[in-house]
Every structure is written in structure tokens, then in C-alpha cells.
Amino acid sequence: MYLGLGSNKGDCEATLHSALLELQVTLSGLRASSVYRTSPRYLVDQPDFYNLVVVGFTDLQPRALLAVTQSIEARFGRDRTREQSKGPRTLDIDILLYGETSLELPELVIPHPGMTERAFVLVPLLELAPDLQHPLLGRPFAAFLESTSGQGIYLHAGPPV
């Protein structure tokens, strides 16, 4: 199972590090990618984001995992009811992949629908799993990377944990 984490408000590096420590309680065998500084997409008048991807294992079902990730976000000050869509946030945790699971619920879609068009997801994902294939499209994630060139992604630091 793969999660994407991002932050662009407050002490982003400390937030990502602390969020990973909390995720270690839920995810066994957690491994994190390097941290990447990325230009904002969609709403560009905001600070750069710091992004990474983690892989791990859990016995939680997708909805339960979503509840855990949103609880962690809230502990770091995220209030989805008050924030601007695609705007600055202290912490964002997206469920990218959950094994081969395909799920479409109002609150959760797996695989994450935007992951193939986002360098801030693809670059750290491919760092962890260079040969990983999209479970629905049957194509390697690396095949989508070229279409994301020019999105402004820069290696910032090695894995935080």
C-alpha cells in the first residue's frame, strides 16, 4: 500500500517527519522516499510543497485507513471544512494504491485518480518502486513520468525516517 504525503504550511519538514512516526503505528515495514520540494499545481499562488511517498503494510481496510490518515492530518492542524480546495495545508495524506484494490466511493477512490499526472507523486513513487505498474491500466508508472516534465520538482532531502 502506498501513501502520498505533502505539506506547505508551517514547519513542513518537521510535520512530515512526525507524520511518518505516527504512520509507523499503523503501517508495518514502512519505507519512505526522499523528500521533494515541488511547485504548487492547480492553485499556484502559495508556497512550494514538500512531498514524499511511503510504502507499508496494514490489516486495515481502505475506509479505516482513510479514517486514520485524516485523523493524523487533523492532529497537525488540517481542517478540511475551512481550507481552500488545493490550497495551503499543514499536512495532506493521500491513499495512492492499496495493493491491487480498485475502489470508488464518494470519499475515497483507489487507485488515486490524479496520481499519473502528478510529478510530486510519480517521482517519489518510482524511487521506492521503479518497476511498479498501474493496477488498472497495466502500464508502468514510469511511462507517465514524461508527461509531467516541467512541473517543478526538486530533490530536497533524503528519507526522513
Pairing type for strands 49-57 and 35-38 reads antiparallel
Is the separation of the CB atoms in 54 and 20 below 8 Å? yes
Between helix 12-26 and helix 62-75 the angle, nearest 10°, is 140
Options 31, 48, 79, 94, the catalytic residue? 94
Catalytic residue status for 31: no
Residue 79 designated active-site = no
Dihedral sign computed on CA atoms, order 72, 95, 128, 99: positive
Q: Cβ contacts of residue 8 below 8 Å, gap of 6+? A: 40, 46, 47, 48, 49, 50, 88, 89
What dihedral angle (degrees, nearest 10) is formed by the CA atoms of 94, 42, 89, 160?
Answer: 60
Annotated active-site residue in 48, 63, 92, 131: 92
Catalytic residue among 31, 37, 48, 78: 78
Catalytic residue among 89, 118, 131, 139: 89
What phi and psi, each to the nearest 5 degrees, are found at residue 130? -60, -25
Is 92 designated active site? yes
78 tagged catalytic: yes
Which residues are marked as active site? 78, 89, 92, 94
